[in-house]
Chain A
Amino acid sequence: MTPIVEGRGLTRTFPMPSGPVTALREVSFQMAPAEYVAITGPSGCGKSTLLHLLGCVDAPTSGSLLFEGRDVARLSESDRSRIRLTRVGFVFQRFFLLPMLDAWENVELPQAEMGVGLAARRARTRELLDYVGLADRARHRPSQLSGGEMQRVAIARALANRPALLLADEPTGELDEDTGEQIADLFDRVHADGTAIVVVTHNPVLARRAKRHLVMTRGALGAHR
């Protein structure tokens, strides 16, 4: 079975005034379809950098990345954008919902970008908001929602185009413990429905829910003991 995403010897170095900083060192990583992986590690160890590479929003300094068998380095920005739109869903620590749109419209936006018809869009949006338990908050703007509700809307938005891979960067970082558990429950459901998930987190509860737990230290990836 072709992995959804496969990194081989991924290295990412950032040029800094004081000299280059290497965030990732020769990381190799493979993600099977419908797998659920958690990556933990101290701040600044390169977790988010790896996530950005897997999501095709950044490019490795060296090494290669294959997304569903395609070499990402050979793709145009337009092609990478298309992969992100159709095959990847992103969930961010700070939600990044559009504040001028309500929950419904935020979930609709990626579908509209993909050209989904109005009827199908409505049905999918209704289904997703129901899925994350916010059907009754569809017409509320982000400023009228709690942190947990905003993150659930963000998850619904990330799932809007039925991605093969959901990437979450500290999805419970801005939430209290109980709300974090609700988000963890939601990820469990998403995984159970067949979507592969990579979650970068400091939250041990969320990390324990994953089927594979990796630890990153100083840019190197290892299995959790």
Chain B
Amino acid sequence: MTSRALAWRTAAAEPARAGLAIAGVAVIGALLFDMLMLSQGLLVSFRKMLDTSGYDVRVVASDAFPARVDLTNASAIAADIAGLPEVRQVTIVRTDRAVVLVPGHAPTDVALLNVSAGAERQGWRVVEGVDLGALGRPESAAPAVISRPLSRALGLAPGSPLPLRALTSDAASALPILRFTVVGIADFQFENDGPHVLATTFEAFQRARASVSSDVADVILVASRSSTDAASTVAAIAGRRKDVHAFSNDQIVERFNENGFAYFRQISFVLSTITLGFAFLLVATLLTVAVNQRLGQVAALRALGVSRRRIASTLVWESALLVGTGGLLSLPLGWILALVLDRILRDMPNIPDALHFFVFEPRLALWHLALLAATGLAAVVYPVWVATRLPIAATLRLETVS
């Protein structure tokens, strides 16, 4: 009989103990798995969000990014950048606050996203109607793509008139009501449970509010040519324009990793360490108690010539069995728990729909299993020491008289 088979028979002979150990490891392992997903989730989903927007470089006014500083003279800067050989496309983006004034409905606050015309990939996906550039350049009414929640709230559909008043800080007094037309309804990548989102072209918005036009943008999005990587484009922009700062998606993710998301990473590190500690204590305690309960058997086996290595390997297999089974069960359990926790955390204000706190990656599952395996091995050290170093004669004597 192999050590593995002996370990299996030992565990099976005490189903309650084995069941409790496996359940304990599964629960603790689920928490560990969640903490690992949390440590990377925001970064991974943020990275995905950036990459799926279709732009690999962002140009801003200040090195203090992501702090918002107005990028003045945006059209000229965009045109200059568009002339670089590394650049395939440039989009100017500005976000303003506005109030939609649809008759029969209360004034509704919206985030007004202005992007330069011709952008083929923006941060939204049209689900009804057409995109901003599809109708050419209508002179009469500015086109607007609105979010699904805004469409539902105000009963708007493609073709609906959309009166709104912009609330810009650079306006000396209340701006006039602007007339937009809904051309499409879309799911916005960065939309959160804050104000509804409405997108129009940078040019249309500037034209509609010509009296206070300032040619200011939040950011200029840049797409590199397929033959060029983002770092080269960043270098080219830095060489051309000393008055702006360009960041590749990698640099942005790294900056968020160092600042905004570090909080979650630190929490997940602390909680991961604690859960590993719990797993260690659980398995070590159960195995130590189990060994102490069968000291007589172990001493008898040693007296019969069973080697220390055999005793140790049986215990290691028993630990592997308990931790391995619990660890595998913890993956689906952790996944379900992550879905619940993610939903709760994403209910926080100003969290974009596309951003997730818990993101599964295959390497995290491997890390999780490796950490549990290491914990299982560490937890078995003391029980192995007890079992292999026990004084055989004294233990037999004690077990016989007790």
Contacts and interface: CB of A to CB of B under 8 A. Distances in A.
Interface stretch (B92-100, B156-164, B306-314, B320-328): B306-314
Contacts of A99: 13, 297
User: What size tier do the contact residues of chain A reach?
Assistant: 35 or more
B296 interface: yes
A113 B308 contact: no
B307 A90 contact: no
Nearest to A141: B13
Contact of B13 (A58, A96, A100, A114): A100
A109 interface: yes
B235 to A, nearest CB: 66
25 contacts: A48-B400, A52-B393, A57-B396, A78-B307, A81-B302, A81-B307, A84-B303, A84-B304, A85-B304, A86-B305, A92-B300, A92-B400, A94-B399, A96-B297, A96-B301, A98-B297, A100-B13, A101-B6, A108-B1, A109-B304, A110-B306, A113-B305, A113-B307, A157-B304, A161-B305
B400 A105 contact: no
B12 A158 contact: no
Contacts of B305: 81-86, 88, 110, 113-114, 161
Interface in A61-89: 77-78, 81-86, 88-89
B300 A96 contact: yes
Interface residues of B, number: 28
B9 interface: yes
Interface string A31-63: 000000000000000001100100101100000
Given A105-B1, A113-B310, A48 B304 contact: no
Contacts of A92: 300, 303, 396, 400
A81 B308 contact: yes
Interface in A163-199: 169-170
A159 to B, nearest CB: 11
A90 B303 contact: yes
B130 interface: no
Interface string B282-321: 0000000000000011011111111110100000000000
A28 interface: no
B303 to A, nearest CB: 5
Given A86-B305, A109-B301, 8 more contacts: A48-B400, A78-B307, A83-B305, A85-B306, A85-B307, A88-B305, A96-B301, A101-B1
A112 interface: yes
B392 interface: yes
A141 B297 CA distance: 15
A147 to B, nearest CB: 15
Nearest to A160: B304
A13 to B, nearest CB: 13
Nearest to A43: B401
A113 B297 contact: no
In the A-B complex, the 6 residue pairs with the closest CB atoms: A85-B305, A96-B300, A100-B13, A58-B393, A84-B305, A52-B393
A57 B297 contact: no
